[in-house]
Amino acid sequence: MYSIKSEPADFVVTEQIQLQLDDSGQYAYYWLRKESYTTQRALDRIAGFLKKKVRDVGFAGNKDKVAVTKQAVSIKDPDRRVGAKTFDSFNSDIVSLEYIGRGKKPVSLGDLDGNKFEIVLRDCEKEPRAVEQVVNYFDEQRFSRTNVEVGRAIVKGDFKKACELIDFDDVAQHLEKSPTDLVGAIKKIPLKVRLLFVHSYQSWLWNEAVREYLQCKYKPEEVSIVQYSQGELVFPKESVENDKVPIIGFGSEDVTGEIGRIVQDIMKKESITKRDFVIRSMPELSAEGGERDLAVAVSDLVIEKKGDKEFLLRFSLPKGSYATMVVKQMMEG
């Protein structure tokens, strides 16, 4: 059908963020450019180079690994020891930092406005179709082979099943020494990974609610069905009216109407309640929930033919939305 991310340079992401510069601030701001590198790994390298703690390096959001990405980071620097030339010996083609200035606030998760994308599609069997919006599904990057199942087991308190599904040597080694300490075994996993398990389950629940809602709202001939690792996605062939869909958690609000009915039906099928997202054995994993736009605008779209079966796509999305989902809708929806 098409190839995406054939090489990192085929997927370029530039963060859109507004930084308030103030030379008297205790935070130094930089543009972090990375290629074929996770955001967390880059932050670890930066902290190690500066001999600081990772929590002293702030960022607004994780960026794709198989890509070339540019994002803002802050470094806590009350002694004013870092500046424009600090990273001259650190910078490489893989990870580099460019000085922006200073400010009074750290860059924190969620601070970005959105992301700008430049994506090369290869081996296209058809031309991408222009779209003005995309159904705001979570895409593959949010999931892995067992993330959803592990998250489900943790939310339901089935820690034995979670341990059976988790492929971490530290978990197995802990259980060899303490076979009944299931929670202790799970805690051997880094917190950010454990949180990802629960968030992946929440994301799958959200995708399922939206899929069922759109199947109810539109006739079969009015939608396209696209397969992905977690099942099916439903894309209406015309634009959809936006709405807020709850991300189920202990604090998510009850919703009325068709969406509310579908969410309740899914929770019943899953045998869960909102209170299950209060994880008493591991309170750090408790998930409040929230809401997410059913659809988001695709801005500044440009489709450029680059060669035989090759296209360059340029567009912008709000934070938290997936460029790969735009490509799915353009090529398969």
Query: What's the pLDDT at 110?
Result: 87
Query: What's the pLDDT at 141?
Result: 87
Burial 170-202 (b: 16+ CB within 10 A, else e): ebeebbeeeeeebeebbbbbeeeebebbbbbbb
Tens of pLDDT, residue by residue over 276-308, are 999 999 999 999 999 999 999 999 999 999 989
Cβ atoms of 100 and 21 closer than 8 Å: yes
Backbone region of residue 320 per phi and psi (left: phi > 0; alpha: psi in -120 to 50; beta: other values): left
State which amino acid sits at residue 224: S
State which amino acid sits at residue 54: V
Q: How confident is the model at residue 97 (pLDDT cuts 50, 70, 90)?
A: very high
174 has pLDDT over 90: yes
Residue ranges and CATH numbers for the domains of the chain are 18-111 (3.30.70.3160), 140-296 (no CATH)
Query: What's the pLDDT at 332?
Result: 85
Query: What's the pLDDT at 240?
Result: 92
109 has pLDDT over 90: no
Question: How far is Cα 251 from Cα 254, in angstroms, rounded to an integer?
Answer: 9
Q: 């009216």: which residue's tokens?
A: 241
Q: How confident is the model at residue 121 (pLDDT cuts 50, 70, 90)?
A: very high
Find residue 246's DSSP bridge partners.
291
Q: 């590198």: which residue's tokens?
A: 37
Q: Using CA atoms of 156, 147, 168, 159 in order, give the dihedral in degrees to the nearest 10.
A: 0
Query: What's the pLDDT at 192?
Result: 85
Tens of pLDDT, residue by residue over 198-229, are 999 999 999 999 999 999 999 999 999 999 99
* pTM, to two decimals: 0.91
Average pLDDT for 71-88 = 96
Find residue 69's DSSP bridge partners.
13, 34
The residues near 144 (Cβ < 8 Å, ≥ 6 apart) are 200
1 has pLDDT over 90: no
Query: What's the pLDDT at 282?
Result: 97
Q: Which of 22-26, 139-143, 239-243 is most confident? A: 22-26
Average pLDDT for 246-275 = 96
Pick from 41, 51, 98: nearest CA to 72: 98
333 has pLDDT over 80: no
Q: What does pLDDT average to over the chain?
A: 95
Q: How confident is the model at residue 76 (pLDDT cuts 50, 70, 90)?
A: very high
Question: How far is Cα 211 from Cα 33, in angstroms, rounded to an integer?
Answer: 36
Q: 């309170």: which residue's tokens?
A: 283
Average pLDDT for 297-322 = 96
List, in sequence order, the alpha helices (H) in the chain: 39-50, 147-155, 159-165, 169-177, 182-186, 191-217, 257-270, 323-331
Question: How far is Cα 280 from Cα 107, in angstroms, rounded to an integer?
Answer: 31
What are the φ/ψ torsions at residue 113 (nearest 5 degrees)? -85, -35
